[in-house]
């Protein structure tokens, strides 16, 4: 057993009585089974994938503690301004792992949509929540997702009834703001009914420059003919250790669209598992990561074509500067009965220094014979011919580089379906490439940091 796993086992015994829902037998069993799964796995797969990351990052987080009680309520506007401005969303805030509300932990809209704290939803609608919360563990569950099952303290619950189109996007903002080093686990649950529609934004931000181990899981269930547009944005501090896992189960004719953007991070792993379980389901996934200094981003995509007549598409792009590191692992599994599958995955990377490192592994595993599948990857530097063309038009080298990087990155933003969000993301991309966007831009405290 690794020292970290041993520490988690001891921590679990210490805090389990204080974790929400522990008085509910099913939740207590869910937690205990998560701990048992963690002990059996013991981070062996994680160490094999990247032993250095485990030893330098995860193993050094022994001693971090969860915040076991919600912080006192105060309006979020007092200490945080969302960087994605002027977007008309219904905003849900989590601070240090706890849902921020002023006496309204759960809201039921006129159309029947339910939004709020997972445990409050469990209290008010146990027959609705429990079947999804207790659903069988993901086929791709690893040590981190098992750890989340054991220690999650809350999460966002969204339920969209059949035939309801939610007009305003729902935005989840997860913040860390503490003078303590934190170990945080949220477990979000999104259920979209038959022929229902939802746009959802998930943002991770930092306010304080403190160490944090954040390990979140989002479970998504899409019924027949439903549609979910999922947007992800990360702007974390250099001391953060952030793991995000998203598991999506799709029924027939459902559509899942995702667009994930990383602007700043310490160490980040985005893991998305999509299971196409009935015919004519489709998924489209886009991603952009802009990392520099010693930042490290890891995107892991798994798409399971279990049945015929489904399609999937992936396009991820990255710009890696200084000594930053980027990994991409894309795995598409086409099972034997999944005839007429259409699948495509592409990863393109631009490195700006000799020290920047990129590892790209697109992977197709195909057992059916009537399919259309392709994959590809590129890792390169700025196009010299394009640079020459811009320079001959009187554009200086610095501006030419920025123009080429901006065009490269904006391709991902162009796929955003919400026009106002597309405009704001393009503004953030421009600022990031100009060196203007840091993790403190949205903070109104103006705290001194890093000397």
Q: How far apart are alpha carbons 216 and 201 in whole angstroms?
A: 15
The torsion of the CA quartet 136, 141, 147, 148, rounded to 10 degrees, works out to -60
Q: Mean pLDDT check: name the lowest of 207-216, 264-273, 305-314, 436-445.
A: 436-445
Q: In Å, how far from its chain's centre is CA 173? A: 12
Q: In Å, how far from its chain's centre is CA 271? A: 7
Give the per-residue pLDDT at 92.
92
Report angle CA 266, 267, 271 to the nearest 5 degrees. 140
Q: Model confidence at 438, in pLDDT bands (50, 70, 90)?
A: low
**Confidence check: pLDDT of 280 > 60:** yes
Which of 274, 287, 261, 279 minimizes the C-alpha distance to 228? 274
**Confidence check: pLDDT of 441 > 50:** no
Q: Structure tokens of 449?
A: 């940091």
Contact 231, 257 (CB under 8 A): no
Over pLDDT 90: what percentage of the chain?
Answer: 53
**Confidence check: pLDDT of 82 > 70:** no
Give the per-residue pLDDT at 385.
62
Q: Structure tokens of 286?
A: 């886009």
Mean pLDDT of 76-86: 67
Q: Model confidence at 430, in pLDDT bands (50, 70, 90)?
A: confident
**Confidence check: pLDDT of 451 > 90:** no
Contact 409, 427 (CB under 8 A): no
Give the per-residue pLDDT at 208.
64
**Confidence check: pLDDT of 405 > 50:** yes
Report angle CA 162, 186, 213 to the nearest 5 degrees. 150
Residue environment code for 14-43, b if the CB has 16+ CB neighbours within 10 A, otherwise e? ebeeebbbeeeeebeebbeebbebbbebbb
Q: How far apart are alpha carbons 144 and 41 in whole angstroms?
A: 10
pLDDT tens digits for range 193-249: 999 999 999 988 767 667 788 999 999 999 999 999 999 988 777 777 889 999 999
Give the per-residue pLDDT at 44.
72
> 3-state class of 314 per DSSP?
strand
Q: What is the DSSP letter of 72?
A: P
pLDDT tens digits for range 307-335: 999 999 999 999 998 899 999 999 999 99
Long-range contacts formed by 116-120: CB under 8 A, 24+ apart: 116/92, 116/156, 116/157, 117/154, 117/155, 117/156, 117/157, 118/154, 118/155, 118/156, 118/157, 118/187, 118/188, 118/189, 119/20, 119/21, 119/154, 120/157
Q: How far apart are alpha carbons 140 and 272 in whole angstroms?
A: 10
**Confidence check: pLDDT of 435 > 60:** yes
Which of 271, 326, 248, 216 minimizes the C-alpha distance to 45? 271
Mean pLDDT of 81-97: 78
- Tell me if the pTM is above 0.85: yes
Contact 234, 297 (CB under 8 A): no
Mean pLDDT of 79-86: 64
pLDDT tens digits for range 330-355: 999 999 999 999 999 999 998 888 89
Contact 269, 242 (CB under 8 A): yes
Mean pLDDT of 61-78: 82
Mean pLDDT of 380-385: 68
Mean pLDDT of the chain: 86
Contact 266, 292 (CB under 8 A): no
Which of 136, 183, 208 minimizes the C-alpha distance to 19? 183
Query: How many CA atoms within 13 Å lie on the side-chain side of 127?
Result: 0
Q: Where are the domains of the chain?
A: 3-433
The residue assigned the tokens 């920047």 is 356
Give the per-residue pLDDT at 209.
62
């Amino acid at each position: 057993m690794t020292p970290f796993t041993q520490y988690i086992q001891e921590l679990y015994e210490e805090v389990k009585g204080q974790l929400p829902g522990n008085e509910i037998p099913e939740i207590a069993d869910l937690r205990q089974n998560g701990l048992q799964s963690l002990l059996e796995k013991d981070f062996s797969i994680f160490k094999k994938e990247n032993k250095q990351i485990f030893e330098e990052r995860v193993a050094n987080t022994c001693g971090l503690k969860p915040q076991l009680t919600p912080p006192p309520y105060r309006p979020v506007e007092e200490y945080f301004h969302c960087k994605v401005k002027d977007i008309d969303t219904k905003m849900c805030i989590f601070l240090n792992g706890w849902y921020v509300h002023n006496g309204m932990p759960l809201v039921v809209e006129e159309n029947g949509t339910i939004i709020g704290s997972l445990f409050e939803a469990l209290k008010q609608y146990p027959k609705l929540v429990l079947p999804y919360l207790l659903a069988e563990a993901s086929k791709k569950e690893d040590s981190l997702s098992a750890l989340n099952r054991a220690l999650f303290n809350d999460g966002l619950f969204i339920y969209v009834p059949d035939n309801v189109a939610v007009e305003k996007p729902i935005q989840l903002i997860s913040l860390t703001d503490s003078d303590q080093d934190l170990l945080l686990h949220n477990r979000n649950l999104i259920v979209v009914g038959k022929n229902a529609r939802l746009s959802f934004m998930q943002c991770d931000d930092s306010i304080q420059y403190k160490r944090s181990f954040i390990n979140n899981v989002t479970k998504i269930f899409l019924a027949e003919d439903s549609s979910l547009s999922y947007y992800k944005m990360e702007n974390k501090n250099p001391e953060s250790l952030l793991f995000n896992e998203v598991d999506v189960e799709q029924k027939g004719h459902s559509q899942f669209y995702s667009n994930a953007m990383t602007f700043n991070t310490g160490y980040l792993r985005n893991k998305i598992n999509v299971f196409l379980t009935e015919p004519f389901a489709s998924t489209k996934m886009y991603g952009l990561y802009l990392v520099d200094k010693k930042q490290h981003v890891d995107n892991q995509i798994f798409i399971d074509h279990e049945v015929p007549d489904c399609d999937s598409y992936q396009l991820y792009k990255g710009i890696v500067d200084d000594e930053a590191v980027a990994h991409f692992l894309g795995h598409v599994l086409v099972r034997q009965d999944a005839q007429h599958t259409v699948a495509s995955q592409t990863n393109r990377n631009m490195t700006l220094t000799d020290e920047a490192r990129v590892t790209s592994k697109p992977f197709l595993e195909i057992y059916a014979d009537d399919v259309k599948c392709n994959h590809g990857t590129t890792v390169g530097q700025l196009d010299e011919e394009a640079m020459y063309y811009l320079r001959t038009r009187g554009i200086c080298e610095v501006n030419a580089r920025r123009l080429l990087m901006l065009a490269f990155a904006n391709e991902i933003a162009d796929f955003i379906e919400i026009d106002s969000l597309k405009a704001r993301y393009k503004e953030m991309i421009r600022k990031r490439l100009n060196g203007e966007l840091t993790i403190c831009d949205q903070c109104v405290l103006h705290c001194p940091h890093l000397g």
